[in-house]
C-alpha cells in the first residue's frame, strides 16, 4: 500500500469514527450521518485506491439504498434520467460520424488553409471546438482526433517541435472546449441533475450552449496560444507552413478529398439537423434527449444509417453511464438527508459573492490533483457548492457552472485526464514529456481560473445568470 492509499484510508477511518459517535455533531441526523460516512469512504477510495471509479460509486449507491437513506426507485430511476439517454444516443450519433470519415474531411478543410504556424494552431483549435457538438465526452473526441494528429505529425515529421506542440495542443483544447455543450462531459450531466434535484432549476441544452460556448472558445484559443509559446521557439514559429489535402490523404485510411459519398452526405445532413434542433429547443419544445433518440434511430437504420445499432452501442461507455447514475443518487442523498446543508452551515453568510466564487473556482481547478475523474470531481464538489451557494446568497446555477467549468482544467500530469494520457503515449510520433505539462500548467491554471471567474461575474449575468440570487 503506497503513501497516498495509506493517507486516504487513515483520513476515511478517522472521519467515520467521529461521525459514528452520536454525541459528536448533535445537529446531524441519522440519515445525514450515514450519508456522510458513505460519501467520505467513496471520496477517499476515489483518491487513494486503484479500484474502478464506477465500482466505488455503485457500492456507495447500494450502501445508501440498503441503509434506507434513499429508496431503490431513486437509485434505479437515475438510469432512466433523460440526460443518460441523451448521452447514449449522442454516442450512437458519434459512431455514425466516425464511420463515415467526416472528421478527416473537416480537418483538411480547415488545416489546409494555414500558411503560418500560428494559423495552423488556431485553425486546429477551431476544428477541435466544433467536435464538441458531434462527439460526446472528451475521451471519445480524443480518439476521433488521434488519426488526424498522426496524419499531421507525418506531414510535419521534419519539424519535431511543431509535432510535440500539436500533441499537447490536441488534448488541451479537447478538455477546455468540453464546456461548450451539455454533452461535452459526463460531469455536465451530473451538474444539471444536482441542480434540478436540489434547487428545481433546469439547465437545457440551449442555455448551456449560450453560457458555455463563449467560454469554450475563449479558453481554447487562450490555451492554444500558451501551448504555442511554451512549447516552441521563435525560430520554430517563424517558418512557413503548407499542408495540402494530398499530403494528409497519404497518411489517412479514409478518403479526405474527392466527391462525397452518399453516406457522408446523409450523415452530415442528419448531424446538422440534430444540432439545429438541439439549439432551437425553446422554439419547438422537443427535449434534447428525444431529438437525440430520433437521430440515433435514423443513424443506425438499415436504409438511411451509416452504422449498425449493435456496433454503435459497443462505443457507448456503459461504465461512465453507471457511474453517473450512481453519483446522481449520491447527490440526492446528500441533499435530501440534510448532509450537504450541514457541511456548509458553518460558512459565513456575509461573504462576498465574488470571493465565494473565487474560492470555488480555485478548489475546483486544483481538484484534479486528488480526483482524476472529471465526473467524480463534480459528484463531490457540485452538491456542496450548490448547498453553500444557497447559504451565502449566491446564485447556485452560477456557482455550479463555475465549479464545473473550472474542473475542466486537468493538464498537470499525464494521468490527470484520459486525453492527456492518450496523447502522451503515442507511438510513431514525437510527443510531450511530463515537464512540458508542468510548464504549461503553471501558466494555464491561473489564467483559465481567472477567465472562468470573469465569465461568472461579468459575462454570464448578461446572459441571464446573475451572481446573486
* DSSP secondary structure code for residue 298 in this structure: H
244 has pLDDT over 80: no
SS3 468: strand
| Cβ atoms of 57 and 79 closer than 8 Å | no
| Euclidean distance between CA atoms 433 and 151, whole angstroms | 21
Residue range 308-336, pLDDT digits in tens: 888 888 888 888 888 888 888 888 888 78
Please give the pLDDT value at position 3.
64
Mean pLDDT over each residue of the chain, to the nearest integer: 83
- Residue 8 has what pLDDT? 65
Q: Sign of the C-alpha dihedral, residues 55, 56, 59, 60? A: negative
Grid coordinates belonging to 106: 473537416
Helix (H) or strand (E) holding 436: helix 434-454
pLDDT at 103 over 90: no
Query: pLDDT tier at 219 (50, 70, 90 boundaries)?
Result: very high
pLDDT digits 0-9 by tens, 175-204: 999 999 888 888 888 888 888 888 878 888
Q: Among residues of the chain, what percentage have pLDDT more than 90?
A: 14
* Biggest distance spanned by C-alpha atoms of the chain: 75
Check residue 446 and give its pLDDT: 92
Whether 190 contacts 84, CB under 8 Å: no
Which residue ranges make up each domain of the chain?
A: 1-51
105 versus 437: the higher-pLDDT residue is 437
Distance linking the first and last C-alpha atoms of the chain: 46
Name the residue among 43, 48, 22, 42 with its Cα closest to residue 33: 22
Query: Cβ contacts of residue 435 below 8 Å, gap of 6+?
Result: none
Residue pair 204/281 in contact (Cβ under 8 Å)? The answer is: yes
Q: Answer with the residue of higher pLDDT: 64 or 11.
A: 64
* Residue 341, pLDDT above cutoff 70: yes
For residues 258-270, give the mean pLDDT: 81
Q: How does pLDDT run across 68-96, given as a tens digit for each residue?
A: 888 888 888 888 878 788 888 888 888 88
Task: Name the pTM for this structure.
Answer: 0.85
Q: How far apart are CA 136 and CA 433, in angstroms?
A: 27
With residues binned 3-state (H G I as helix, E B as strand, rest as coil), the percentages for the chain, rounded to 5, are 75, 0, 25
Cα(428)–Cα(105) distance, integer angstroms: 23
Cell of 38: 458513505
Tell me the Cα Rg of the chain.
23
What's the CA gap between 184 and 51, in Å, rounded? 25
Name the residue with higher pLDDT: 447 or 381. 447
Whether the per-residue pLDDT at 348 is higher than 70: the answer is no
CA distances in angstroms from 115 to 109, 151, 224, 285, listed in the order given: 13, 17, 17, 44
SS3 assignment for 12-52? HHHHHHHHHCCCCCCCCCHHHHHHHHHHHHHHHHHHHCCCC
Nine cell digits for residue 10? 487513515
pLDDT the model gives residue 459: 93
Residue 253 has pLDDT above 70, yes or no: no
Amino acid at each position: 500500500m503506497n503513501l497516498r492509499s495509506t493517507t486516504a484510508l487513515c483520513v476515511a477511518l478517522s472521519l467515520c469514527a467521529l461521525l459514528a459517535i452520536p454525541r459528536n455533531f448533535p445537529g446531524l441526523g441519522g440519515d445525514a450521518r450515514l450519508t456522510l460516512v458513505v460519501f467520505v469512504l467513496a471520496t477517499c477510495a476515489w483518491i487513494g485506491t486503484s479500484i474502478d471509479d464506477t465500482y466505488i460509486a455503485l457500492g456507495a449507491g447500494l450502501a445508501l439504498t440498503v441503509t434506507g437513506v434513499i429508496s431503490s426507485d431513486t437509485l434505479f430511476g437515475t438510469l432512466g434520467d433523460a440526460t443518460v439517454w441523451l448521452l447514449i444516443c449522442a454516442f450512437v450519433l458519434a459512431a455514425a460520424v466516425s464511420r463515415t470519415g467526416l472528421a478527416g474531411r473537416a480537418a483538411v478543410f480547415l488545416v489546409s488553409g494555414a500558411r503560418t504556424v500560428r494559423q495552423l494552431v488556431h485553425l486546429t483549435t477551431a476544428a477541435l471546438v466544433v467536435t464538441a457538438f458531434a462527439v460526446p465526452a472528451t475521451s471519445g473526441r480524443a480518439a476521433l482526433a488521434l488519426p488526424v494528429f498522426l496524419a499531421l505529425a507525418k506531414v510535419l515529421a521534419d519539424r519535431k517541435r511543431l509535432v510535440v506542440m500539436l500533441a499537447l495542443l490536441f488534448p488541451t483544447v479537447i478538455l477546455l472546449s468540453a464546456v461548450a455543450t451539455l454533452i461535452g462531459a459526463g460531469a455536465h450531466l451530473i451538474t444539471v441533475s444536482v441542480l434540478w434535484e436540489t434547487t428545481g432549476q433546469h439547465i437545457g441544452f440551449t442555455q448551456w450552449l449560450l453560457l458555455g460556448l463563449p467560454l469554450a472558445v475563449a479558453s481554447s484559443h487562450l490555451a492554444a496560444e500558451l501551448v504555442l509559446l511554451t512549447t516552441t521557439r521563435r525560430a520554430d514559429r517563424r517558418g512557413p507552413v503548407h499542408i495540402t489535402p494530398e499530403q494528409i490523404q497519404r497518411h489517412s485510411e479514409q478518403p479526405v478529398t474527392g466527391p462525397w459519398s452518399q453516406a457522408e452526405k446523409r450523415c452530415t445532413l442528419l448531424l446538422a439537423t440534430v444540432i439545429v434542433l438541439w439549439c432551437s429547443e425553446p422554439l419547438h419544445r422537443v427535449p434534447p434527449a428525444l431529438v437525440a433518440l430520433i437521430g440515433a434511430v435514423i443513424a443506425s437504420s438499415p436504409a438511411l444509417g451509416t452504422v449498425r445499432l449493435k456496433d454503435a452501442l459497443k462505443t457507448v461507455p456503459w461504465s461512465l453511464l453507471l457511474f453517473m447514475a450512481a453519483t446522481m443518487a449520491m447527490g440526492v442523498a446528500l441533499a435530501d438527508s440534510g448532509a450537504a446543508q450541514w457541511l456548509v452551515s458553518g460558512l459565513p453568510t456575509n461573504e462576498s459573492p465574488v470571493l465565494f466564487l473565487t474560492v470555488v473556482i480555485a478548489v475546483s481547478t486544483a481538484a484534479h490533483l486528488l480526483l482524476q475523474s472529471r465526473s467524480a470531481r463534480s459528484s463531490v464538489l457540485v452538491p456542496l457548492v450548490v448547498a453553500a451557494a444557497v447559504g451565502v446568497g449566491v446564485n447556485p446555477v452560477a456557482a455550479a457552472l463555475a465549479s464545473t467549468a473550472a474542473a475542466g482544467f486537468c493538464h498537470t500530469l499525464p494521468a490527470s485526464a484520459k486525453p492527456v494520457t492518450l496523447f502522451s503515449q503515442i507511438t510513431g510520433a514525437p510527443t510531450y514529456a511530463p515537464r512540458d505539462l508542468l510548464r504549461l500548467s503553471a501558466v494555464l491554471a491561473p489564467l483559465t481560473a481567472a477567465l472562468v471567474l470573469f465569465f461568472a461575474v461579468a459575462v454570464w449575468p448578461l446572459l441571464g445568470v446573475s451572481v446573486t440570487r
